[in-house]
Chain A
């Protein structure tokens, strides 16, 4: 009897329930509405269908493995002189599998001096985090990185 208990699991099922909340962000759980868009629709809404170029100028930093899906650090650094003539107009943080693909839209100005933004987002599960960047000349750049979300631990 003892042996079977061990083999089942050392930690009770509550450990998984504790991190269940980010999964409620998956598409099937998210109410659809004007504001809630999945990834492709969100990109179309932001870019108006314009061409988006994957660029090394957009440095996206996220963990390879997120210890916890509710709090995933995201950092974006865009190479830009940030002058009136040439600056980052907006950084859009998106995710590919959350029901609502959008996390944040940041409108920067030359006063920011750097094309930088950081925050922490929720990830419903393993997926890509995307930084969609709009430059002052109207062009769009992108960088994307996968994040593996682990659900586990005791307590």
Chain B
């Protein structure tokens, strides 16, 4: 086993073919209909978006941003964009920010602002930061996801790293993100839930989201961690190079399908 970029890659390669997966009783081919939501049910769950408890956290995030950092005005100034261009700019994250020397997510930008203002950094993995992140991302609601992976060498490298992270089989079962989310596997039912196409469900556009199973606001990186845990993949740290790269890659999946930002989402 070797360590590369902090992720353990097993020497063994386990090829997962469709045929092999179908031999397992819990992965049912074409059983999507059994657990696919009826139109009436889908309407009910869509309606729930109108009363999403996460909206309260988004509102709170706006208040914290205003009090602690000076609100959108300060954010736009820090990012060197006009307030008018801020929403579209937000919809292009993660981005390479020259003055930070890295490809970063919105939460890291907020931390950098705190440092610039001589304030204490809010932890990335904290309720306050999740709320602020959700608020700032919601400013881009209705904007098309517009990540430019050719913009500079840094974002190009991040995209490449993200793709590798997504495609590399690792962990106790030799699974990669692609094992369950590739085009030929999606739709099949695993533990009563049809496996989603991450671009089609616009993960990058609908997270942070309210998770019903957790009764709380969850960020995309935390969701990735949850999935990794279940697939027996070593969990990648929040805010790490690989995690941000994964966000970049997953954002392009939604961008390819012309998806928009819609925060906060509502998920199982």
Contact = CB atoms under 8 A, between A and B. Distances in A.
In the complex, A touching B (Cβ < 8 A): yes
Interface of A: 2, 5-7, 9-12, 14-15, 18-19, 61-65, 67-68, 70-71, 73, 75, 120, 150-155
Nearest to B179: A10
A18 B213 contact: yes
Nearest to B192: A152
Interface in B23-80: 24-27, 35, 37-38, 40-41, 44-45, 47-48
Contacts of B45: 63, 67, 73
Given A19-B213, A65-B37, A152-B193, A73 B44 contact: yes
Q: Chain B CB within 10 Å — which of A2, A6, A10, A151 has the most?
A: A10
A71 B38 CA distance: 17
A5 B172 CA distance: 8
A153 B190 CA distance: 7
Given A14-B229, A65-B35, A6 B173 contact: yes
Contacts of A64: 38, 40-41
A7 B23 CA distance: 9
A68 B268 contact: yes
Interface of B: 12, 14, 24-27, 35, 37-38, 40-41, 44-45, 47-48, 172-175, 180, 190-193, 212-215, 223, 226-227, 229-232, 268
Looking at chain A's contact residues, the main secondary structure is loop
Residue from the set A12, A67, A75 with the largest chain B CB neighbour count within 10 Å:
A67
A153 B268 contact: yes
B37 A73 contact: no
Given A5-B173, A65-B41, A155-B229, A150 B215 contact: no
Contacts of A5: 172-173
Q: Which of B25, B37, B268 is most buried by chain A, counting CB atoms within 10 A of its CB?
A: B268
B188 to A, nearest CB: 11
A11 B24 contact: no
Nearest to A154: B230
8 contacts: A11-B191, A18-B213, A63-B45, A64-B41, A67-B212, A71-B212, A151-B192, A154-B227
B191 A152 contact: yes
A155 B230 contact: yes
A18 B38 contact: no
Contacts of B215: 70-71
B41 A11 contact: no
Contacts of A153: 191-193, 213, 268
